[in-house]
Structure 1
Amino acid sequence: MDSTMIIIAGIVGLAIGFAVAKFMEKGKASKTIANARKDAAQILKEAKIEGENIKKDKILQAKEKFLELKAEHEKVIIGKDKKIGEAEKRTRDKESQVSSELAKNKQLNSQLENKIKEVEHTKEFFEKKQAEVDKLHKSQVQQLEVISGLSADEAKSQLIASLRDTAKSDAMGYIQTTLEEAKLTAQQEARKIVINTIQRIGTEEAVENCVSVFNIESDDVKGRIIGREGRNIRALESATGVEIIVDDTPEAIILSCFDSVRREVARLSLHKLVTDGRIHPARIEEVVKKTEKQIEAEIIEIGKRTVIDLGIHGLHPELIKAVGRMKYRSSYGQNLLQHSREVAKLCGVMASELGLNAKIAKRAGLLHDIGKVPNTEAEMETPHAILGMQWAEKYGEKPEVCNAIGAHHDEIEMKTLISPIVQVCDAISGARPGARRQVLDSYIQRLKDLEEIAFGFGGVQKAYAIQAGRELRVIVESEKVSDEKAAQLSFEISQKIQTDMTYPGQVKVTVIRETRAVNVAK
């Protein structure tokens, strides 16, 4: 019983304690809630104040942006108004100008109408006068027919016949005089143009040959170039196509070949091999191939530099390459590129003197011998003038240039004035003394032969071959040769030269007979 009471009392105590705790907790929660409400009200109040501040700031920013946009808009409007005002001013000026022009045109139209009326009035007056003149002329013709007993057609026929005979006689005399003057003037002008052209071109003499000398530091290098059992020199000759002569000439090796390109390839290859020191067949083939590529690039560069120096534009790359290859070709000992440059300059000067197109003439002069550098064996059988013309046609050159190239040795007909200019300049460049070794030798011999032919006739005292063998002046003894005999002697010498000699162009034979009366005063 007592334990039960104790338990009940404990339970009651616990219940009372729990109730008290709950009461105290409820009071504390109420206080917490009140504090929370107070804080929330404070936060709301602060948030409301901050919102108002932000709202005011945004309103101020919006007003500032509005004012800024308004100012920019007003500036744009002012600019547009200014442009519109300028356009209106220009329009007013145009309207004023148009009104002025209209008034002027109206005045001119009025004047034109007055002039037309005056012209019509004058025309009517002249028509009346013409009718009166025709009537008067007709009456006078009738009177003349009655007086002369001839009709107008018969009189006209007789007058025309008489005038025709007189005019024919006068015309023949005038034509003869004009032809003689034209021949004299043409010869003088042609001689003047050719002489001026030659004088304005400075050229060099021929220096090309068929051998090159490769200098070495010592004769020990010769053995290395020959190689064991001659392997190196055979490989070099096979790769380059050049004959290599190793003889007793001190510190020199001779390279012999008609093709200057091959000789140059061999010379440069030898230089590279000797400088490098490695000389064997495989190395030789490698160096020769590299050198050939180097020469090809150099040929193109030479062609480009040549056309630039001469002021020639628009030349096809293949033709530029052919021009570059001409440096390594020679004709009778004369370098082909030097000859072609010289002909181009001569053509340009001569065409300018004659009032023709100097650029086309210079172009034709440069290309006239490109057929001398063929690429294949088949092309070598074609005459170089025809081959050059075919190349020029293939690569788009103008017809006058193609004709000049093909006709400079008279293998086709000349169709333009450029063609004879190229032919003449080619002859000037190739036939002048010293241009070609063979020509130089034959030139000296031709001078001797001309003088010997003259001395073969009786009465000849002196003979001089002048003007590069183009003229032979013969001085005769006046006691043995008369004036009639001098003319006959000139003809006989010219026929002898024509029969016995071969020469370019023509030879003029001049016989000079001088009569002197000499007395001595003692």
Structure 2
Amino acid sequence: MDTSTIIYIIVSIAVGLAVGYIVRQTLASKQATSVEQKIKEKLDEANAKSKELILEAQDKSARILEDIKRDEKERKLQLDKLEERILSKEENLDKQAAELRGKEKSVQGDLAKLTEAKTHIGELKEKIQQELQKVAGLSEEDAKKALLVDVEKKFSQDLVAYGKKMMQERREEIEKKTAEIMTTVMQRYSRSSAAEFTTSSVPLPDEDFKGKIIGKEGRNIRALERLTGVELIVDETPDSIVISSFDPVRREIARVALERLIKDGRIQPAKIEEKVEEAKSEVAKMMNEAAEAATYEVGILDFPKEIMQILGRLAFRTSYGQNVLRHSVEVAHFAGMIAAELGLNVDVAKRGALVHDIGKAIDHEVEGSHVELGRKILKKYNIDERVIQAMEAHHDEYPYAIPEAYVVASADALSAARPGARRDTIENYLKRLQELENIATQFEGVKQAYAISAGRELRIFVTPERIDDFGSLQMARDIANKIEAELRYPGEIKVVVIREMRAVEYAK
């Protein structure tokens, strides 16, 4: 390529560049002019809209201001009316206050007059009393006493009759309701009579077993008596041996052990010791089963295990020939039914009744009454305080803290007094009758006293010249209170005082 060609190319490029620059500048100038025009148009449009908005806002603010002024005017009218009403009420109150002050002054004046009149009347009364005392020759107290004596003489028969009528009606009402509840309870629950003794008889297959039980030089019978704590009586009674003990648990252990030895046939000291241990385990199991059956029967299933173990021992305890556990179950049933009739807490009554004699399960080596021992046992194992209160009063050693305590005591007496529930010796029976008659004859004016109806009624004849009708009523209450304080007895004793007046005259 030559130089002219190169120059030509360079010149052409330069010319192209110059032309391109000029065109670009021209286009840029045109675009700038177009943008400025658009901006100006937008500004004009914005100014027009702002003017419209300002005018609209001014109109709206004017309307709001008018509304505010109108509301303010209405509120002012309401306040004016309220102010008028308040002023009117104040005027009325002022008038009423003035009237009350006037009335108060009038009342004070009347009160002063009444006080003056009362003082004057008191002075007149005192003067009259003094005059009466001078005329009658009696003081005020003496006159009162004389008047009371005169009234008592005139109306004594009426008072006696009225008192008897009230007492009879009330007693009949209470006895009717009580008999109704007790009869219902006893009809709904009944048990067989008691027949517990202090001996048990074990049958023997033949007479040869008596020699085996006695053993060489009596070693077998001595071992059995030593291990069980009972007395074995081997006499002429055919095919039987008698176990004697006042502890039913020991007697039952000896009976079970002896039956096992007879069944095994090998009777020797080592075998006796083995069978006695087996018998103890079996009797313990029997006691647990008895406690579970008793609680299940009365519907109580949440006693602690320790209480159940102690309760089971009552199955082998007796009181006046009555099995203590069966007695406790019976009392629980009675208490539950009585509590239900009276609208009391049935659960508390049944629990308190079931454990009311639990202290009898403790051996005699531990000091204290069975009530006190029972309280300690129940407190130790965190039994509900209401249950303890329900059981602790059934022998009147503690106060009746809750209504259920009366229910438990009544149910206990009902179970004990039920015909056939308990056995008693003829000596104790006659002694109790004699004590009843002796209590009655200690009172002045008693001619004769008879305990009848198996000791359930005490009939007393008094001398009519020494005891009047009032005295008869008082004597019946005093004798009943003395019996309650000095004697222990099941159920209740009816005290009847009879005052008979006979007038005899002969026609000649």
Place the TM-score, normalised by the shorter chain, in its bin.
0.5 to 0.7
Report what 1:108 is aligned to: none
- Tell me if 1:150 matches 2:136: no
Q: Distance in 2 between matches of 1:491 and 1:152?
A: 51
Give the TM-score taking structure 2 as reference length. Answer: 0.60
| Alignment-derived partner of residue 200 in structure 1 | 185
Q: Deviations over 1:153-200 (max 9, x none)?
A: 9999x9xxxxxxxxxxxxxxxxxxxxx999976984477336623652
Give the whole-Å Cα distance in 2 for the aligned partners of 1:417 and 1:502. 25
What is the rounded CA distance, in whole Å, between the counterparts of 1:376 and 1:510 in structure 2? Answer: 40
CA 1:150–1:462 in 2, change beyond 3 Å: closer, same or farther? same
SS in 1 for 2:424: helix
Paired position in structure 2 for 1:408: 394
| Structure 1: distance between partners of 2:192 and 2:378 | 28
Could you give the per-residue CA deviations for residues 384-420 of structure 1, whole angstroms, max 9, x where no partner exists?
2222112212222101112333443344444322233
Percent identity for Structure 1 against Structure 2: 37
1:465 partner letter: I
Residues 490 and 510 in structure 1, CA contact (< 8 A), matched pair in contact too? no
Does 2:394 align with 1:399? no
Please tell me whether residue 232 in structure 1 is matched to residue 220 in structure 2. Answer: yes
Deviation at 1:448, TM superposition (A): 6.2
Could you say if the C-alpha distance between residues 451 and 486 of structure 1 is closer, same or farther in structure 2, counting changes exceeding 3 Å? farther
Query: Do 2:436 and 2:483's aligned partners in 1 also have CA atoms closer than 8 Å?
Result: no
Alpha carbons of structure 1 residues 450 and 501: separation in structure 2 relative to 1, 3 Å: farther
Q: How does 1:157-168 map to 2 (within 5 A)?
A: none
Q: Which amino acid aligns with 1:437?
A: R
CA distance 1:390–1:191, change in 2 (3 Å): farther
- Asked if 1:223 corresponds to 2:211, the answer is yes
Q: 1:256 offset after TM fit, Å?
A: 0.5
Aligned pairs for 1:254-333 within 5 A: 254-333=242-321
User: Which of residues 421, 432, 449 is equivalent to 2:407?
Assistant: 421
Deviations 1:362-381 (A, max 9, x none): 0011111111112694xx21
CA change 1:247–1:490 in 2 (3 A) is farther
Structure 1 residues 244 and 140, CA, compared in 2 at 3 Å: closer, same or farther?
Answer: same
Q: Cα distance, 1:298 vs. partner?
A: 1.3
Aligned residue pairs: how many? 367
| 2:402 alignment partner, SS class | coil
Question: Is residue 197–residue 349 contact of structure 1 (8 Å, CA) maintained in 2?
Answer: no
Say if 1:483 and 1:513, in contact at 8 Å, map to a contact too.
no
> Structure 1 residue 363 and structure 2 residue 351: aligned?
yes
Partner of 1:430: 416
C-alpha distance after superposition, 1:338-368 (max 9, x if no partner): 2211221222122222211111110011111
Does structure 1 conserve the Cα–Cα contact (< 8 Å) formed by 2:348 and 2:390? no
> Where does residue 446 of structure 1 map in the other structure?
432
Whose relative contact order is higher, 1 or 2, with alpha carbons under 8 Å and at least 6 apart?
A: 2
Deviates most, 427-436 or 342-351: 427-436
- The one-character-per-residue Cα deviations of 1:450-483 (angstroms, maximum 9, x if unpaired) are 56887999997995635x645434578xxx8479
- Alignment RMSD: 4.6
Kindly tell me: are residues 504 and 234 of structure 1, through their superposed partners in 2, closer, same or farther at Cα, counting changes over 3 Å?
A: closer
TM-score (norm. length: structure 1): 0.58
* Deviation at residue 511 of structure 1 after TM alignment: 3.1
What is the alpha-carbon distance in structure 2 between the residues aligned to residue 258 and residue 272 of structure 1?
22
From the superposition, tell whether residues 246 and 368 of structure 1 become closer, same or farther in structure 2 (CA, over 3 Å).
same
Is residue 241 from structure 1 mapped to residue 229 from structure 2 by the alignment? yes
Q: Distance in 1 between matches of 2:364 and 2:441?
A: 51
Change (3 A) 1:134 1:200: farther
2:325 counterpart SS class: helix
Give the C-alpha shift of residue 508 in structure 1: 4.7
The one-letter code matched in structure 1 to 2:488 is P
